[in-house]
Amino acid sequence: MAHSNEMTFDPNQVKLGQSLQFYPPDKWGLDYYFRVFHRMYICDVLDMPEYPMFPGAFAYKNHPIYRVDVLGIIVKVEENSKCFIYAVDDGTGVIPCCCWKNTFQSGDSAGKHQFDTLPELLKQRASLLVRSVEDLSTGYSLGELVNVKGKVKIFRENKEIVANVHRKIEDPMFEVLRMTELPNLYLSCYDKPFELPYKVTQELAMYKEESKTGQCSEMRLAKQLKSVLLEHFQKNGVIELSAPDLLVLSKVKDILAKSPTGTEPSTSCADPIDRLRIVLQALYLLEVDGQICRRGDRRMLYEVLLHKSRLEIEILKVLNMEVRKSKYEEKGCHYLHIMDELQKTLQYPKVKKSAVLFILQKLEAHSDVIRTTQYHYLPCNV
């Protein structure tokens, strides 16, 4: 690490250690907590190293952090012509906080008369705001409890917080609330590693494969096939299909010809298997969107849900049977309960949530069912 200028950089991620992956700045926005002021213990703010190869941001685990929110007692005050520097102590550590002085001048004639034209109520509130700003210009005192939100900077080799927002806390219970809140935040958010969403990981793997081979990856071909198959289903009114039957379609053949397996010599067995795998990937993408559903009564059989489908009949059948029970008579059935009932059947043992919701939305649009809550449904004709 001493010769960092000689290190090679993977544009997708940097791996340090066995478990943590550090990502470049263009991926940081995918961290749910990146743009917030992180409520943290001061000791952790002081211990955070700089984000690997990206100075200006800091890392807790592998979360990129540059804004924090701390609460503590002022134990030291320094003042210069432009700012106050408070040493804030929360019991775990002490960190300097730079709070810039307000530029408002109480003797400014414009400041005195700029609210004269306002209605009386607004003038009173504006005057209160001005007085609070004037109070801030005098700074805080030793022993006061303050809340500081700002950016973490390094000044003369020491960390400090340059405040965006700071305020004095009058209620002592605020400190108790913060100390009970922080362990839950660490457990549920900060201590969990920052991981890219599955779809983003797939996209990165696809680009990496294409840059190495110079050919379209299987995932890109599957996405192209998805559009072609969706158009085919809509245009021809397809109700059911078998995955191997799609290999004979001319547009499917054209797309599969772009695959590495379509241009390299291979055995008569391996090539169809590879092509079928790409078709199955495209069908899986359609299944995730809820536009088709895999059946369980025959191998590689799929049901298209864009038109009138058997799944609609089965869902209505489940609803009509379940609402006869007193438990579901008034409120209706939750869509997850409907899915559980469908998975007990021979035809739909692996039906996905997206397919059930897609059909329920269609039935609601056709006034076959009504929604009693966000997730509960009742049939219109029992």
What is the structure's pLDDT at 269? 36
Residues 30 and 162 in one domain: yes
Q: How far is CA 61 from the centre of its chain?
A: 18
Coil, strand or helix: which one is 33? Answer: coil
Query: What is the total count of domains within the chain?
Result: 3
- CATH number for the domain harbouring residue 65: 2.40.50.140
Please tell me the distance from the alpha carbon of residue 119 to that of residue 126, in angstroms, as a whole number. 10
pLDDT at 363 over 80: yes
What's the predicted TM-score (pTM) here?
Answer: 0.58
pLDDT above 70 as % of the chain: 84
pLDDT digits (tens, 9 = 90+) for 89-125: 999 999 999 988 765 444 444 455 566 677 878 877 7
Residues 66 and 150 in one domain: yes
| Phi and psi angles of residue 365, each rounded to the nearest 5 degrees, phi first | -65, -30
What is the structure's pLDDT at 132? 60
Residues 225 and 356 in one domain: no
Residues 315 and 292 in one domain: no
Domain-embedded: residue 110: no
Residues 208 and 158 in one domain: no
Q: How far is CA 160 from the centre of its chain?
A: 29
Determine the structural domain holding residue 297 and report its residue range.
198-304
Please tell me the distance from the alpha carbon of residue 22 to that of residue 16, in angstroms, as a whole number. 7
Please report which confidence band the pLDDT of residue 371 belongs to, taking 50, 70 and 90 as the band edges.
very high
Q: How far is CA 373 from the centre of its chain?
A: 25
pLDDT at 262 over 60: no
> Pick the residue with more confidence: 12 or 311?
311
- The mean pLDDT of 355-361, rounded to a whole number, is 94
Residues 325 and 358 in one domain: yes
Residues 183 and 287 in one domain: no
- The mean pLDDT of 280-288, rounded to a whole number, is 90
Please report which confidence band the pLDDT of residue 18 belongs to, taking 50, 70 and 90 as the band edges.
very low
Domain-embedded: residue 223: yes
> Pick the residue with more confidence: 77 or 139?
77
Among the candidates 304, 323, 338, a domain finishes at 304
Query: Residue 345: which residues within 8 A CB-CB, separation 6 or more?
Result: 296, 314
pLDDT at 357 over 90: yes
Give the mean pLDDT of the chain: 82
Residues 173 and 202 in one domain: no
